[in-house]
Amino acid sequence: MAFLQVSQSYKAPKVTNERKRELLLFERNAELKFRSLELLNLAFCHRSYVNEQHIKIDNNEKLEFLGDSVLELVVCEYLYRNYYESMVEGDFARIKSFVVSEDSLAEIAKHIKIDNFILIGKGEEYSGGRGKKALLADCMEAIIGSYYIDSGYRDVQIFILKYLVPEIVKVIQNRHKKDYKTLLQEYVQKKYKACPRYDVIKKSGPDHDRVFWIEVVFNNTTYGTGKGKNKKEAEQNAAGVAYRTITS
> Is 155 among the residues known to form the active site?
no
Are the CB atoms for 23 and 117 separated by under 8 Å? yes
Shared-domain flag, residues 163 and 188? no
What average pLDDT score do residues 66-71 get?
Answer: 97
- Per-residue pLDDT, averaged over 93-118, amounts to 92
Task: Give the range among 6-15, 35-44, 185-194 with minimum mean pLDDT.
Answer: 6-15
CATH classification of the domain holding 200? 3.30.160.20
Instruction: Count how many domains the chain has.
Output: 2
In this predicted structure, the answer to whether residue 140 has a pLDDT above a threshold of 90 is yes
Q: Same domain for 101 and 198?
A: no
Q: Let me know whether 100 and 203 are in one domain.
A: no
In the residue annotation, 64 being an active-site residue is answered as no
What is the predicted pLDDT for the residue at 4? 45
Q: Taking the CA atoms of 70, 75, 76 and 81 in sequence, report the sign of the dihedral they define.
A: positive
Same-domain status, 165 and 215: no
Boundaries of domain holding 194: 181-247
- The verdict on 125 and 229 lying in the same domain is no
113: left (phi over 0), alpha (psi -120 to 50) or beta: left
CA geometry: angle 84, 81, 152, nearest 5 deg = 155
Express as a percent the part of the chain with pLDDT over 90.
63
Mean pLDDT, rounded, for 94-118: 92
* Of 64, 124, 138, 141, catalytic: 141
CA distance 95 to 198: 26
**pLDDT given at position 177:** 66
DSSP 113: T
- Asked whether residue 155 falls in the same domain as residue 193, the answer is no
| pLDDT tier for residue 1 given thresholds of 50, 70 and 90 | very low
Q: Which residue of the set 64, 68, 124, 167 is catalytic? A: 68
The CA distance from 81 to 73, in Å, is 12
Once rounded to an integer, what is the mean pLDDT over residues 65-89?
Answer: 96
> C-alpha distances in angstroms, 138 versus 71, 163, 237, 247?
12, 16, 23, 34
Same-domain check for residues 37 and 156: yes
Domain stop point among 130, 147, 172: 172
H or E segment to which residue 75 belongs: helix 61-83
Q: Examine the domain organization and report whether 193 and 130 are in the same domain.
A: no
Give the pLDDT confidence of 164-205 residue by residue, as tens digits: 999 999 888 876 666 788 888 888 988 888 899 999 999 998
* Banded pLDDT at 90 (limits 50, 70, 90): confident
Return the pLDDT at 229. Answer: 86
Residues 110 and 205 in one domain: no
For residue 213, the model assigns a pLDDT of 95
**Is the separation of the CB atoms in 132 and 115 below 8 Å?**
no
Give the residue among 165, 181, 43, 153 at the shortest CA–CA distance from 104.
165
CATH number of the structural domain spanning residue 137: 1.10.1520.10
Q: Are 234 and 224 contacting, i.e. CB atoms less than 8 angstroms apart?
A: no
